[in-house]
Structure 1
Amino acid sequence: MKDLIKMFSIFFRIGAFTLGGGYAMIPLIQEEIVEKNKWIEEDEFMDVIALSQTIPGALAINASTYVGYRMFGFKGALLACTATILPSILMILLIAVFFVQFHQMPAVEAVFKGIRPAVVALIIGAVLKLGKNLPRTAKNLTWILIVVVLIAYFHIHPIPIIIGSGLLGFVLYRRERGL
């Protein structure tokens, strides 16, 4: 029971204090789950992020649900998912009540202008942290460059890129293994 409460608390905190969505949550989830609590290994965490990207739903919710299930079964999955989304629900309700009245205030606009660079920095930090474990092969670096170009210049939606990447990985893996 104590571990379930701890897990709920961790995911609630992450959900409450991370602006910018799932990508901004990755370094916090990694720090808490992999580094501090050692609930899963770094390699498995990378797999969790990859899996979370390929199934419908928000990355942080999918990742937290997986970790909860991995640690405590269905009850853990339900608690981790709830803990991750509950702060957002509470904040949306609070914002809905007050934002309409205050969104034009210079102080409120200034706060959001200050938050934006921090969110970008969190996302860049997540990319760098996840990228450190990616083998630096010509194939991986080429694929990263291709994906960046497809998204940034050709405005290809990430979903077909993720599906295509999975299929390409499947084909290349089978070819490498002679299957």
Structure 2
Amino acid sequence: MDFLQIAKRRYACRQYLDRKVEPEKLEAILEAGRIAPTGANRQPQRLIVVQSAEGMERLARCTRDFKAPCAIIVCADTDEVWTRKYDGKKIGDIDASIVTDHMMMAAASLGLDSLWICMFKPEAVREEFALPPHVEPVNILLIGYGAGEPASPERHAETRKPLSATVFHESYGKE
């Protein structure tokens, strides 16, 4: 399967089977996150893998978990992120997003489904998972085997704007 096929296959899965993610698949997903590019190669990502029943119960106090068997809390160590000198923008959220995307696509390539969650209580995550002050929770990636009918890979023709609506050449507003 080429990259675009994998990208089209991936969907926001909100219903999971009661089936564990195999350790070798989880390891491959984490490796995809490890090799993801980060600003100045600072690698500020800190990943908390949650799989135990007790851990998933703690996660459910922070966000909706959709009964997924596995979650990766993607954080950024703010002491290690690269900062853009022109405006002081710390790019930990960008780095964490790149890492998450790599892991999400790796999961899809392995026949797993996922859901990228940004709707969570940051302070609850911080407390439930003992995050130090310099580690910021950025998003949560749920991973597992989807239950029910997956979204059609052909849905993008109807659900996505055409390139002409989002791509400009040479200057904003020029097609």
Q: Quick check: which one's strand share is greater?
A: 2
Q: Quick check: which one's helix share is greater?
A: 1
For the criterion TM > 0.5, the same-fold answer is: no
Q: Compare relative contact order (CA 8 Å, sep 6+) and give the higher one, 1 or 2.
A: 2
Structure with higher Rg: it is 1
With normalisation by structure 1, the TM-score equals 0.25
